[in-house]
Structure 1
Amino acid sequence: MADTSVQSRKDTLDKDLDKFVHVGEAASFLSRGLVAPGLALLFLALSAVIASLYVMGQPGAVVIVAAAAIGAYMALNIGANDVANNVAPAVGSKALSIGGALAIAAVFETAGALIGGAEVVATVSRGIIAPESVGQPTIFINAMMAALISSALWINLATWIGAPVSTTHSVVGGVMGAGIAAAGLWAVNWFTMSGIAASWIVSPLMGGVIAALFLAFIKEAIIYQDDKIAAARRWVPVLIGVMGGAFAAYLAMKGLSRVIPMGAGQIAAVGIAVFLGVWALAHIQVRKASEGMENRNQSLRALFKMPLIISAALLSFAHGANDVANAVGPLAAIVATVQANEVTGAVGIPLWVMAIGAIGISIGLVLFGPKLIRMVGQQITRLNPMRAFCVAIAAAITVILASALGLPISSTHTAVGAVFGVGFFREWYTANSSRRKAYLERKVDRERQARNGKKAAAAKADRKREMPSELEEDLPLGIAGYSFGVAGETSGAGAEIARRKLVRRAHFTTIIAAWIVTVPAAALLSMAMFMLLNLIS
């Protein structure tokens, strides 16, 4: 009887100890989830402290400090939502790990914002609302504050539900809504708005077309050539050179021209010179890296990994130059208005304002970006390093051109449009390419001859190994266990696969719907926020 009592106490003690263990594990899990929000709050506090150091003792210092914290909050949300588009192709193609992508993006986002962001900041801060239409500084400050708060809240909500919305849409909608609430429809510079609205349509189309053209070239000139390695040695250095030349021309336009006056011809000369230099270096590197490689698509993927990483860095730089405006454009307008105590057309961009936007975008990416990185890079269409390179370089070229013109286009539209462009082109090319069909027929003929000889077993192993790189690349996401007959014809379950699409239509419709809703939602929220701020002040 005593033994039974002792055993019961032991069982009860074990159960109690298990409960304590589970409680400890649950507490540890919850605490990990609070690390990112805690670090984000710390950054907001530091931003407010930094702003106070620069404006301490000045009239309206409290307003500037509050605006700096809100601008930092906006920058965090841009990093969490928008920057994912820059590195998602590299992550989705497995060329970069999440950690590596975050590190590259953080460095180049910050550099792009500090070097090339001032022009676009001026467009956002003063180009959407006509300054003369809002005569009182307090009203203008409340309008800019409402725009910051509303756009940041909307992007935060979108990130939480996993929707890659346009942060440019959000901030422009917020500024427009606040301007309408402050002074009516006529306060908005509709000429500027029409140009921005046109860019929202042009940018995804341009990104998609450029990406599709790059992919068409790679397929025709490299992938569906009998000697893939020789074709890659010829053309991969050219592609890397194009990327290097574009990056150099942009740096010359944004950086060197401030020190040394440079015209369009001189900037073009810099781009061409760097293209030739990068091409020569890449030619040597690609030839060395391709020695001993098998004549397989898997080998091509290895050759494209480094160009893809470089293009991801280029896109991050371009995004930093263009989208820092979304975080600190309204903040710069608030600072200028408070310090001048009047609403004027001229606006200076203090370095500390740019730094808050640049660093905030990078921190937001590191803390909250992985969710949307996986969505854009892995769930819309199947990406490999070659397709991801096309997406990244197309988005970079488009965003660079827009930033050079001082036009705050949507980098989300551009990058996601490039992903869709690659996917839809693959659908068309798989169904219509005569080169692909002829290549697969030649491949099957070689395999048939091998089966008739002593190398039947080896040919079967090669076919099994080649199938993912030659045919699976044109299958929808999530397909496995497919079977193909001669010349790539599908049979049985393969017929169902052939009817499926390479781009997930559900994501396409969802993203388009989110793009349409963002501007009016941000504008309405900004109107409400402006009225609330007016009541408080």
Structure 2
Amino acid sequence: MLILLFIAACFLAYSNGANDNFKGVATLFGSGTTNYKSAITWATVTTLMGSLAAIFLAGVLVKNFSGKGLVPDSLLTGPEFAISVALGAALAVLIATKIGMPISTTHGLVGALFGSGVVALGSSFNFAKLGSTFLVPLLVSPLIAAVLSLLLYFVFNRLRSRLGFTKETCVCVGKEYVPVSALAANGSMLQTIAVLQPTSLKIGKQQHCQQVYQGHFLGIGMQRVLDSAHFLSAGVVSFARGLNDTPKIAGLLLVAQALKLEWGIGAIAVAIALGGLLNARKVALTMSKKITRMNHGQGFTANLITGLLVTTASIHGMPVSTTHVSVGSIFGIGTVTGRANYRVVSNILLSWLLTLPVAAVCAGITYWLINLI
């Protein structure tokens, strides 16, 4: 049973990495600051650092997500409860990942704790602690993130104007090579050649336009300063995600005494990194391209708010969702620029509503089957 618990926890960690790892760097890719490969590499490195830092900074979250207070300690001494929680949450997150929906692993864990606990205890389950410790932070955090990102963008935009930094859009002017296929006498294609066209001015679609910032700050080009700050803020978000999510999963191993805290967090950290590297692309496209279009400054603002909120919540033991906070921040930017895709956001909100009941059902059935056997 302990081996099964370890496998279930690593499966949950892998699913978490696949759905969550790219969220910290979504604005880097979405704003065109870097490509997908560089973004996911940066996310993996900084998330791993946050996961390892959780050994020293996130003891409260380990305790909360072990199930203490929600169910009696007698239920936590065996691995059956922890296995059902891990598998229930993992299945819900994996389903969402396959369809490209950025849901909350935190939300999945809460649903799984609820499902397993209710099947095991019925009305004796601690519903009051579930609401105060888990649900309230999950509901409030995306609203706070959206409002703060909206306000901070106004402040940054006004500050940029006063300092004389301007935004400019590049337009391509020059000669263009157009591919032309050369045909043989019988009509078959022999080769493709490029023909040089006269000098022209070409304006593409709006989504292909790239805004750059002009001016200098302390002798350094403003665009370079902003891109560096953007990378740093994305690293902060990914670090905060590793710091916040890793102990939630490691807590399942700790209570059943399957592994020591340090070894448990190390194993979970590796599984999270693998999940992000191998299976994050669908959620990456949703977060980066479909919620809203953004430029470098807007992406930096969204990441800054997300990093500050998630890091603060982690240190204080509040189980907020990096997904909820990140989506809220990006949506806040989209709202103020008028570019938010409300249909995509509506689908994301629906997936959030379904996460808890799906995870609860999966975990409840798993717990029932384990005890039946």
For the residues of structure 1 that align with 2:19 and 2:123, how far apart are their CA atoms? 30
Answering whether residue 164 of structure 2 is matched by residue 227 of structure 1, we say: yes
Deviation at 1:171, TM superposition (A): 0.9
Q: CA deviation at 1:154?
A: 1.0
Q: Report the AA paired with residue 328 of structure 2.
A: G
Tell me, which stretches of 5 or more residues in structure 1 are unaligned?
A: 1-62, 230-284, 291-299, 340-348, 428-501
Match of 1:129 in 2: 70
1:181 aligns with 2:18: no
Residue type of the partner of 1:287? L
Aligned counterpart, 2:371: 534
Give the drift of 1:225: 4.8
The residue identity in structure 1 corresponding to 2:292 is: T
SS of 1:156 mapped into structure 2: helix
Q: Answer yes or no: is the 8 Å Cα contact 1:79–1:362 preserved in 2.
A: yes
Is 2:211 aligned against 1:211? Answer: no
The answer as to whether partners of 1:214 and 1:390 remain within 8 angstroms in 2 is yes
Per-residue Cα deviation, 1:3-45 (whole angstroms, up to 9, x for no partner): xxxxxxxxxxxxxxxxxxxxxxxxxxxxxxxxxxxxxxxxxxx
Letter in 1 for 2:25: V
Stretches (4+) displaced over 6 A: none
2:342 aligned residue: 505
Q: Deviations over 1:365-408 (max 9, x none)?
A: 11111221121011110111101111111001110111011111
2:235 corresponding residue in structure 1: 313
For 2:268 and 2:47, the matched residues in 1 are separated by 10
Per-residue deviation, residues 320-360 of structure 1 (Å, max 9, x unmatched): 01011333222222226xx9xxxxxxxxx521100111111
Helix, strand or coil: the match of 1:126?
A: coil
Unaligned runs of 5+ in 2: 167-215
Q: Which SS does the other structure have where 2:219 is aligned?
A: helix
Structure-2 separation of matches of 1:374 and 1:136: 39
Q: CA–CA distance in 2 between the matches of 1:135 and 1:503?
A: 46
State how 1:313-332 maps to structure 2 within 5 Å.
Answer: 313-332=235-254
Instruction: Assess, with a 3 A threshold, how the Cα gap between structure 1 residues 135 and 381 changes in structure 2: closer, same or farther.
Output: closer
Contact 2:76 2:82 in 1 (8 A): no
Q: 2:6 aligns with which of 44, 64, 68?
A: 68
User: Larger deviation: 325-334 or 378-387?
Assistant: 325-334
Find the counterpart in structure 2 of residue 374 from structure 1: 285
* TM-score, scaled to structure 2: 0.81
Alpha-carbon shift at residue 166 of structure 1 (Å)? 0.8
Question: Aligned to 1:164, what secondary structure does the other structure show?
Answer: coil
> Whose RCO is larger (CA < 8 A, sep 6+)?
2
RMSD after superposition = 2.1
Residue 503 of structure 1 aligns with an amino acid whose one-letter code is A
Indicate how the Cα distance of structure 1 residues 309 and 411 shifts in structure 2: closer, same or farther if over 3 A, else same.
same
Aligned to 2:193: none
TM-aligned CA deviation for residue 302 of structure 1: 4.2
Kindly report which structure 2 residues correspond to 1:72-471, keeping only aligned pairs within 5 A, or say none: 72-116=10-54, 117-127=58-68, 129-132=70-73, 134-135=74-75, 137-138=77-78, 141-188=79-126, 190-222=128-160, 224-225=161-162, 227-228=164-165, 286-290=217-221, 300-335=222-257, 349-427=260-338
Secondary structure of 1:82's partner?
helix
CA shift digits 1:423-465 (9 cap, x unpaired): 11223xxxxxxxxxxxxxxxxxxxxxxxxxxxxxxxxxxxxxx
Deviations 1:68-121 (A, max 9, x none): 111111111111101221111111111122122222211211111121343312
Partner of 1:38: none
Structure with the largest fraction of strand = 2
SS in 2 for 1:391: helix
In structure 2, what residue type is equivalent to 1:505?
A: Y
**Cα distance in 2 for residues equivalent to 1:413 and 1:128:** 25
TM-score w.r.t. length of structure 1: 0.57
- 8 A contact 2:15–2:275 mirrored in 1: yes
Larger Rg belongs to: 1
8 Å CA contact retained: 2:75, 2:81: no
Deviation at 1:185, TM superposition (A): 2.8
Which AA in structure 2 matches 1:220?
A: R
C-alpha distance in structure 1 between counterparts of 2:274 and 2:157, whole Å: 37
1:514 maps to which residue? 351
Q: Answer yes or no: is the 8 Å Cα contact 2:153–2:301 preserved in 1.
A: yes
* AA of the residue aligned to 2:363: S
Structure 1 SS opposite 2:256: helix
- Cα distance in 2, alignment partners of residues 136 and 302 from structure 1: 52
Q: Aligned in 2, Cα 1:226/1:118: closer, same or farther, shift over 3 Å?
A: closer
Cα distance between partner residues in 1 of 2:48 and 2:75: 35
User: C-alpha separation between the residues in 2 aligned to 1:201 and 1:130?
Assistant: 23
For 1:397 and 1:105, the matched residues in 2 are separated by 17
1:129 Cα shift?
2.3
State the AA in 2 paired with 1:387.
Q
Q: How many residues align?
A: 322
Sequence identity percentage? 27
How far apart are the structure 2 equivalents of 1:226 and 1:98? 32
Query: Contact between 2:16 and 2:93, CA under 8 Å: does it hold in 1?
Result: yes
